[in-house]
Amino acid sequence: MDIGIGLPALRPDPDLSIAAWARRAEERGFATLATIDRVVYDNYESLTALAVAAGATSRIRLTTAILLAPLRSNHALFAKSAATLDRLSGGRLVLGLAPGFREDDYNAGGVDYQHRGKLFEALLERATRQWQDPDDSIGPRPATAGGPPLLFGGFTKPTLRRMAAHGVGWIGGAQGVASFRAFLPQVWQAWHDAGRAGAPRLMGTANFALGPDGEQRLRTRLLDYYASAGAYAEQSVEAGLTTPEQVAREVAAYAEAGCDELILFPNGGGLEQVDLLADAVGL
């Protein structure tokens, strides 16, 4: 199982360099650098943050886990931005996509929350055509043939349908391995029902905060980020990892469940978090 690490992009410390974090993560052997996405929050925009990380590295994958796709209402421009990042990074971009559930993000961008599903479908149609059709007039062509790999996040029937039609796999939320494992039969069923060959790529996500004040940092950060999410916030805190032993157990549990890649997202702290996590997972 591959192990990825999130960028410190939520409530970012201006003194903590995204480039330095990315270089250290690559040096320590992480497979992926990842972002999560909001509009109405103090966070770096995902594709911009990944572009900075791309310029500081040469091998590590760059993953949105996830990007709130319907908020990118100019579909041709979104496809162009993604293709540009994929080309400039040498084909390292992986797009994890989902519609999200926070209405304030949509209101802030003037995007119709009630029709986000239809907007998502239109974006997928435009982007895949732009990436795959050699006669499409909008460039550049992505470095990855056919466009960046797409994974879809969520626990709904539309998620499964989009994955089966357009994706290479599924991303689980950071509520623990039991939640991840419970949804896998539906992922596999949707994949087989669509006649897809091979196996879907299965990606898990988790939150971590290591060090002496890790438990407090994780709780404070997650309750703030998920302030409007009700029980989801507490579930995220309960599933969070604050000791090397917890990290090691969770990694083993995800691997046993059949996860192909686990991405762990930091919650505060400095550059030392990269090394603490690398040590905990055996990199």
49-60, pLDDT tens digit by residue?
Answer: 999 999 999 999
Angle at 280 between CA 275 and CA 283, to 5 degrees: 65
Please tell me the pTM assigned to this model. 0.96
Longest pairwise C-alpha distance within the chain: 56
Q: Kindly give, in sequence order, each residue whose CB lies less than 8 Å from that of residue 15, ignoring residues fewer than 6 positions away.
A: none
Q: Which two tokens stand for residue 90?
A: 């040498």
- The answer to whether the Cα torsion of 174, 175, 178, 183 is positive or negative is negative
Instruction: Note the pLDDT tens digit of each residue in 142-193.
Output: 999 999 999 999 999 999 999 999 999 999 999 999 999 999 999 999 999 9
Considering Cα of 177, then 178, then 181, then 187, what sign does the dihedral take? negative
| Pairing of β 2-6 and β 261-266 | parallel
Q: Express each pLDDT in 101-132 by its tens digit.
A: 899 999 999 999 999 999 999 999 999 999 99
Q: What is the CA radius of gyration of the chain?
A: 18
- Is the CB of residue 123 less than 8 Å from the CB of residue 129? no
Q: How confident is the model at residue 230 (pLDDT cuts 50, 70, 90)?
A: confident
CB atoms within 10 A of CB 266: 25
Q: Which residues pair with 10 in a beta bridge?
A: 43
Domains within the chain, CATH numbers bracketed:
2-281 (3.20.20.30)
Token pair of 171 as six digits: 């991303």
What values do phi and psi take at 43, rounded to 5?
-150, 155
Task: Decide: 267 and 217 in contact? Cβ < 8 Å.
Answer: yes
Neighbours of 203 (CB within 10 A): 29
